[in-house]
């Protein structure tokens, strides 16, 4: 570990193998708190690169409990955009499930916002403390299963206290969303910084991903925004390409950013129920934009506008609320 820290002190990037080695030492409880502190802060000061992220993801996945499902999508952001919006990616996951797409959602309770995916799902009376076989059953029955990160990544206990002490974003904010215990091959990932788009795309290249969209909007969301252009890095069949989603071209006609602001879990859950029952508002439009990305990576649609319009038609019909009732009843 000392050799790795020396490299980082010299502002040198780690290779994929070196990153795997460092994360293995940490995740097996063989590093001291001081070593973990230095490792995370030095990485952050230098700026994390794709091989370092991919090495961390490899180890975190390797040490997690495994959920055995096929051909699922995950919708997950890094968080940390500081915008405190409603739970867009969680609502997106539930909308996709109601449209017949199998979703293995990986998430946590609030870390950098008032209400994380785990909090809002609990407020919706959806069980979050499920074992792998129960999640597999749920996905096969209702197209939706939620893997509560702390239950699946017990090795994270070694870094929890140090992350708290550091008190700001570290590489774990980046590797968490990519470390699905279901080893999903299709993913929509939101990032809090435009600079991370390429880094994430290159990191995912090492991880057998079939189709991913990495997104960051020009108004600073780790989601596709209904108000501003969103930059997308697409990874498909190991090729990276860039796409821009412009809500003006899609005639989204969303009103103002304040309409997306969230609060506590009950508030956010109530807003979700409203749109699932067919209420038309900015939140509904934002969810449909992100759902369209999920429909693209699951290869149900190849044209984004068609995917968006289809999601709109579906959510406004109220069918998503009916599907939610099925998920709540298990």
Residue 128 has what pLDDT? 95
329 has pLDDT over 90: no
Residue 169 has what pLDDT? 84
Q: Flag the least confident range among 32-46, 158-172, 245-259.
A: 158-172
Q: Flag the least confident range among 48-57, 80-89, 139-148, 228-237.
A: 80-89
**Exposed, middle or buried: residue 306 (CB in 10 Å: 0-12, 13-18, 19+)?**
middle
Non-local CB neighbours of 10 within 8 Å, separated by 6+ positions: none
271 has pLDDT over 70: yes
Cα separations (Å) of 36 from 17, 39, 155?
18, 5, 13
pLDDT band per the 50, 70, 90 thresholds, residue 216: very high
User: Percentage of residues in the chain with pLDDT exceeding 70?
Assistant: 99
Using CA atoms, how far apart are residues 225 and 259, in angstroms rounded to an integer?
A: 12
- For residue 217, tell me if it sits in a domain: yes
- For residue 133, tell me if it sits in a domain: yes
Using CA atoms, how far apart are residues 121 and 211, in angstroms rounded to an integer?
A: 26
DSSP notation for 118-171: HHHHHHTT------HHHHHHHHHHHSEEEEEHHHH-GGGGGTHHHHHHH-S--H
Mean pLDDT of the chain: 95
* Tens-digit pLDDT profile for residues 141-183: 999 999 999 899 999 999 988 988 998 889 998 998 899 999 9
- For residue 297, tell me if it sits in a domain: yes
User: Percentage of residues in the chain with pLDDT exceeding 90?
Assistant: 87
Using CA atoms, how far apart are residues 42 and 314, in angstroms rounded to an integer?
A: 47
- For residue 195, tell me if it sits in a domain: yes
- For residue 26, tell me if it sits in a domain: no
312 has pLDDT over 80: yes
SS3 315: helix
Q: Tell me the whole-structure pTM to 2 decimals.
A: 0.94
* Tens-digit pLDDT profile for residues 277-310: 999 999 999 999 999 999 999 999 999 999 999 9
Per-residue pLDDT, averaged over 24-43, amounts to: 97
Domain that holds residue 312: 73-153+182-328
The total domain count for the chain is 1
Per-residue pLDDT, averaged over 221-233, amounts to: 97
pLDDT band per the 50, 70, 90 thresholds, residue 112: low
Question: Which CATH number characterizes residue 110's domain?
Answer: 3.40.1030.10
Per-residue pLDDT, averaged over 104-129, amounts to: 90
231 has pLDDT over 70: yes
């Amino acid at each position: 570990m000392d050799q790795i820290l020396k490299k980082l002190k010299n502002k040198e990037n780690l290779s994929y193998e070196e990153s795997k080695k460092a994360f293995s030492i940490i995740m097996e409880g063989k590093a001291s708190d001081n070593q973990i502190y230095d490792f995370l802060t030095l990485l952050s000061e230098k700026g994390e690169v794709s091989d370092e992220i991919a090495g961390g993801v490899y180890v975190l996945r390797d040490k997690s409990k495994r959920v055995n499902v096929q051909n699922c999508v995950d919708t997950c952001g890094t968080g940390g955009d500081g915008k405190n919006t409603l739970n867009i990616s969680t609502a997106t996951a539930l909308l996709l499930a109601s449209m017949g797409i199998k979703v293995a959602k990986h998430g946590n309770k609030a870390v950098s916002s008032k209400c994380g995916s785990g909090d809002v799902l609990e407020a919706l009376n959806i069980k979050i403390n499920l074992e792998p076989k129960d999640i597999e059953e749920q996905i096969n029955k209702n197209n939706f299963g939620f893997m509560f990160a702390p239950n699946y990544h017990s090795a994270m206990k070694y870094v929890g206290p140090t992350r708290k002490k550091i008190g700001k974003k570290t590489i774990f904010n980046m590797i968490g969303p990519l470390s699905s215990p279901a080893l999903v091959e299709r993913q929509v990932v939101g990032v809090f910084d435009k600079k991370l788009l390429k880094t994430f795309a290159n990191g995912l290249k090492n991880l057998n991903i079939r189709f991913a969209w990495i997104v960051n909007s020009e108004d600073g969301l780790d989601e596709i925004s209904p108000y501003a252009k969103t930059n997308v890095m697409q990874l498909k069949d190991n090729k990276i390409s860039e796409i821009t989603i412009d809500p003006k071209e899609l005639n989204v006609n969303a009103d103002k950013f304040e309409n997306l602001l969230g609060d506590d879990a009950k508030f956010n859950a109530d807003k979700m129920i409203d749109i699932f029952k067919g209420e038309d508002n900015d939140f509904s439009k934002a969810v449909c934009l992100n759902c369209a990305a999920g429909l693209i990576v699951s290869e149900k649609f190849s044209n984004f506008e068609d995917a968006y319009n289809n999601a709109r038609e579906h959510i406004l019909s109220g069918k998503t609320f009916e599907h939610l009732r099925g998920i709540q009843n298990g």
